[in-house]
Structure 1
């Protein structure tokens, strides 16, 4: 990873952040399968110059440039420049990737299994291989349950999910996946109070929206060596609802987060610039996840990607995150 930059006088580091692929707590069955959060430490005038350069090279008349401009095939050279060693991100940027299905599996095990696991990748891989679309359907049912907003909806979604879990466990009897799902099926809340308690847990520290923990990961990155971080972020409801105290608790770095300021991306060129990185990271990662990896773009993106991303590289694909000493992908939920 590139080391974070600090101001010469040791003042608070102000990072600009944006995301791509956000669909709130809907983690499966949406329009995107990857969530990417990017953060950037560059000066205002540098961001202005970079955006002006992109506008000229991409021949775009748009007042506000978005990631979709640099992702067009005809602007491939512009994207490679932005991600490359001569671009504005080199040494100044951080990306956290979230495979939404994998993240949801982690929450399923955490909320119904009684605790988080270090790596849910093998479980998700085996369940997908053994159960196919039945596994994806079970995940979707769990996602619906955890997003319920009324007691009536919660009861209905709980009936659907736990019935599906029983069926999946029986069909996979004798396998590790079958045993795991059978254990989850026994965690059915015994009454409305217990059901509401389960839903409340998903709105606390274990919030389903991947944006909140992704921002916490960015704070941890930029707070290395005792730095204090101030965040400028594109307006986002989930972050406002989470609150500064919750974000500080999730980051796990005492006092590291000085504050968060929400802006319209049109009013801060740094947020416009980091939007390029977030959008590119999501597209590159999604292609790699689905067996369409672009080796050149993956190589360019890799130095920015947090090794603690919620991610597992395909066994025969291009690596996007760092690997542990034993060769296993260093991804966590």
Structure 2
């Protein structure tokens, strides 16, 4: 059966980023990575670029956020561009240092917990760990700790020798952070499993490994499979020249010439993915593609808005970004580690239990469903009527 609307031209979706530092997630100057994708024809983009340049007397041959940021009226220019493509853009952003915490869970915990990973993802242990590590490592005004640099080095090489503090055979002094102490004990206790599961990712054997910490491919996947693929039957994806995307472009080839559609679970809920690429990813320069110039401005604006939250020049732009932000944005969420709430309290108990098992060399998965259930029973308030009934039953048993 022919694909629907196969005789119609595919929809052009143009993508560009801001804040790119590749696998370097600890860059102080560019803490936010942003990616923007727009549904705009080349002709309409060209007309918009010309109009914006004329109105704001921009002499540069292109609209580039890197240059426009130097102008006092940059927020005004960015807002006008954004409003002109209202409803025809999607943006996604990631705090790079938070992502380091997420990758720590993916490459330290997942190899050990993978047989029952759905259980831990269901209760947000991964989000608890990544947000907790983020808060521990990146206290405002404090230098980035050595352990954070070691984590980054390990997840680029997957060689335990690059992270001696993380994988030290004998623990040193107890960490001041309970979460960090648990993470270190877990990594040390299950180091052989982590190392064996990571061998295939070592950079010497896998050219894609050096991009494991890069966010570009991850963001584009979300924008396509959980975004534009649901809005249009066939897509023509044009990306600004990108080393990581070119290295990973082959992973998108499975969507070419056919519709990919499936229901996937993130451990908590089902989410539908859908996409059909008319051709492999295309790459071009912004000089030759005005659509990429618009995407560049939106990506730059998104990154800046998240670094200037609440500041007057960015308030209207902040609202626009919020309305066009993809649900997969990776930004800190304090509630996920606030132990006044049941979920974080339970996850802290689970993390301590996993660390204890790591110390003892015990099975990390045995009975964890029951452990979660018992911890939730402890922290969840019981209805007053139930408490009274339990007291009555207790007295009658005496």
Give the TM-score normalised by structure 2: 0.64
**In the aligned structure 2, how far is the partner of 1:191 from the partner of 1:122?**
20
Alpha carbons 1:232, 1:260 under 8 Å: kept? yes
**In the aligned structure 2, how far is the partner of 1:14 from the partner of 1:247?**
17
**Residue 171, structure 1, aligned to residue 175, structure 2:** yes
**In the aligned structure 1, how far is the partner of 2:47 from the partner of 2:148?**
45
Q: Which runs of 5+ in 2 are unaligned?
A: 263-272, 336-398
Query: Match of 1:123?
Result: 129
**Residue 213, structure 1, aligned to residue 218, structure 2:** yes
**In the aligned structure 1, how far is the partner of 2:195 from the partner of 2:302?**
41
Q: Which has the larger radius of gyration?
A: 2
Alpha carbons 1:205, 1:246 under 8 Å: kept? no
Query: Match of 2:66?
Result: 68
Query: Match of 2:104?
Result: 108
* 3-state SS, counterpart of residue 227 of structure 1: coil
Alpha carbons 1:17, 1:38 under 8 Å: kept? yes
**Residue 79, structure 1, aligned to residue 72, structure 2:** no
**Residue 96, structure 1, aligned to residue 79, structure 2:** no
How far apart are 1:226 and its partner, in Å?
6.6
Question: Residues 237, 75 of structure 1: CA spacing in aligned structure 2 closer, same or farther, 3 A cutoff?
Answer: closer
**In the aligned structure 1, how far is the partner of 2:321 from the partner of 2:149?**
30
**In the aligned structure 2, how far is the partner of 1:247 from the partner of 1:172?**
47
Aligned residues: 299
User: In the TM superposition, what are the counterparts of 1:144-223 in structure 2 within 5 Å?
Assistant: 144-148=153-157, 154=159, 156-163=161-168, 166-167=171-172, 170-172=174-176, 175-189=178-192, 196-197=199-200, 199=202, 203=208, 207-220=212-225, 221-223=227-229
How far apart are 1:90 and its partner, in Å?
0.6
Q: Which runs of 5+ in 1 are unaligned?
A: 1-6, 316-333
Q: Which moved more, 1:71-80 or 1:130-139?
A: 130-139
Query: Match of 1:13?
Result: 11
**In the aligned structure 1, how far is the partner of 2:93 from the partner of 2:221?**
13
Q: CA RMSD in A?
A: 3.7
Question: Residues 165, 210 of structure 1: CA spacing in aligned structure 2 closer, same or farther, 3 A cutoff?
Answer: farther
What is the CA deviation profile of residues 116-160 of structure 1, one whole-angstrom value per residue up to 9, with x for unaligned ones? Answer: 7446444344445556458753222111122239xxxx4541324
Question: Residues 29, 74 of structure 1: CA spacing in aligned structure 2 closer, same or farther, 3 A cutoff?
Answer: closer
Q: 1:232 aligns with which of 214, 235, 238?
A: 238
* 3-state SS, counterpart of residue 65 of structure 1: coil
Query: Match of 1:285?
Result: 306
What is the CA deviation profile of residues 13-39 of structure 1, one whole-angstrom value per residue up to 9, with x for unaligned ones? Answer: 220110111111111135311111100
**In the aligned structure 2, how far is the partner of 1:97 from the partner of 1:165?**
38
